[in-house]
Structure 1
């Protein structure tokens, strides 16, 4: 197995003649937490969907978990946990019923044991009979993460997982992410929160479908000659906007 959980080059996707992702190169080391930052419409979600095999790229080559991410997409899906920004589980099913349904989709053996373990891990056991639609944002987030982890993925792709969640739930979520990384699970997470970005091992900034900067938080702040990550973000996106306008 390679030391890189993600190693792709030239990742590209267009819609209606407009390039949403334009030649993105990305390398993520196994067991690392990498933050994926960028304004709305920058190509983050499209990139994540291509990496997990849900969307076919127009161009690009490389590997995800040692698999050709274009030609072995079905196998990639089985080893990756993908958490969408919008809650995607069934609101008229209970927490346990949702997890059992996911376990069935993955044709998991010992479904009950797997669901029990997921409920315990995310602190959902006492609420297992509660309907998903009745949960608060923080508890829905826990359920979504439990569903992502049910099939024991080696890589998590998380798309704005804490959007609209209160600070306490966000902190607890990130504590869980760090525990997962300590177990060897690789995490690529998109976020708009600078305090969350600071908890990542490395960062990738993207705008207009192109990578603007990558590296540790300290390195990016220094390279951008900025006071902090938020200042660096504003500067980098501003420069990209100017370049994009000139090119257009």
Structure 2
């Protein structure tokens, strides 16, 4: 059994003429909460879709537990929670989960397990349209947990929630991780970095740092995760500018080629 949950090798993803992710190499171990952090548009969702196997890849590879992302052996090993709560408003919480269990071929008895694990006992018979935003997110999380997947890919699960609801969700994530499940959780809220075991910081389709919360603060000498991330961006910008200047310095000047009569060709 491979010790890594996710491996990407020279992963490249393009949309039209735009390169969204360029030759990315990545290795993530099992059994941790991995925070995928970065501003909106940095490529977080694209990378997560590639890990789940629903993103067209231009070149390179992505594997999960040693299998190609999206392949049949991973069907019940990977759970995916999208940014928007994917539930039916006219069904109760329990009915929603029972439906998703049937679709996935999961025993109906698993519904009660995920209701318990996501603290939805009091809302189990409530219609989805009457739920708060945090409760609806927990139903989507419960649906992703059906079948006891070994990897949960959660795309900005706390977006739009107040600090109390975000804290409640992160407490659930920690309990899930303590059971041995690997979580890949994206966010653009930098203070959530301290709740993770490992961090991937993304910018403009590239991973600019792989670290831990403690190393992030120590190496940048910052007082907060947000300040640390800004310092890393500043360092990355300076590095890119330096590379651009070197490339310009080594590029030969354009030649003014003229024809025999002195006219430009």
Q: TM-score, normalised by structure 1?
A: 0.90
Residue 99 of structure 1: which of 93, 97, 100 is its match? 97
2:252 is aligned to: none
SS at match of 2:160: coil
Measure, in 1, the Cα distance between the counterparts of 2:12 and 2:90. 37
Q: 1:193 to 1:169 in 2, by over 3 A?
A: same
Which gives a bigger RCO, structure 1 or 2 (Cα 8 Å, sep 6+)? 1
**Could you say what the CA RMSD is over the residues aligned between the two structures, in angstroms?**
2.1
The 5 Å alignment of 1:122-137 reads 122-137=118-133
Measure, in 2, the Cα distance between the counterparts of 1:20 and 1:204. 16
Residue 111 of structure 2: which of 110, 115, 119 is its match? 115
Measure, in 2, the Cα distance between the counterparts of 1:181 and 1:129. 27
SS at match of 1:198: helix
Measure, in 2, the Cα distance between the counterparts of 1:23 and 1:12. 5
The 5 Å alignment of 1:1-248 reads 1-69=1-69, 73-108=71-106, 110-111=107-108, 113-240=109-236, 243=240
Measure, in 1, the Cα distance between the counterparts of 2:53 and 2:7. 14
Measure, in 2, the Cα distance between the counterparts of 1:166 and 1:57. 35
SS at match of 1:61: strand
Q: Is the 8 A contact 1:52 1:77 kept in 2?
A: no
Q: Deviations for 1:133-180, whole angstroms, at most 9, x for unmatched residues?
A: 221011011111111111210001111111111222211211111111
Q: 1:225 to 1:124 in 2, by over 3 A?
A: closer
Measure, in 1, the Cα distance between the counterparts of 2:40 and 2:243. 21
Q: Is the 8 A contact 2:114 2:145 kept in 1?
A: yes
Measure, in 2, the Cα distance between the counterparts of 1:81 and 1:160. 14
Q: 1:4 to 1:115 in 2, by over 3 A?
A: same
- Segments of structure 2 that go 5 or more residues without pairing to the other structure are 245-265
Q: 1:158 to 1:135 in 2, by over 3 A?
A: same
SS at match of 2:54: coil
Query: Which deviates the most, 39-48 or 5-14?
Result: 5-14
Structure 1 segments of 4 or more deviating over 6 A? none
Q: Is the 8 A contact 1:53 1:77 kept in 2?
A: no
Shift of 1:23: 1.9
Shift of 1:185: 0.2
SS at match of 1:78: coil
Measure, in 2, the Cα distance between the counterparts of 1:220 and 1:62. 26
Query: Which deviates the most, 77-86 or 38-47?
Result: 77-86
Q: TM-score, normalised by structure 2?
A: 0.85
Q: Deviations for 1:39-85, whole angstroms, at most 9, x for unmatched residues?
A: 1110000000010111131122242022122xx52333431111111
Q: 1:74 to 1:53 in 2, by over 3 A?
A: farther
Measure, in 2, the Cα distance between the counterparts of 1:21 and 1:93. 38
SS at match of 2:195: coil
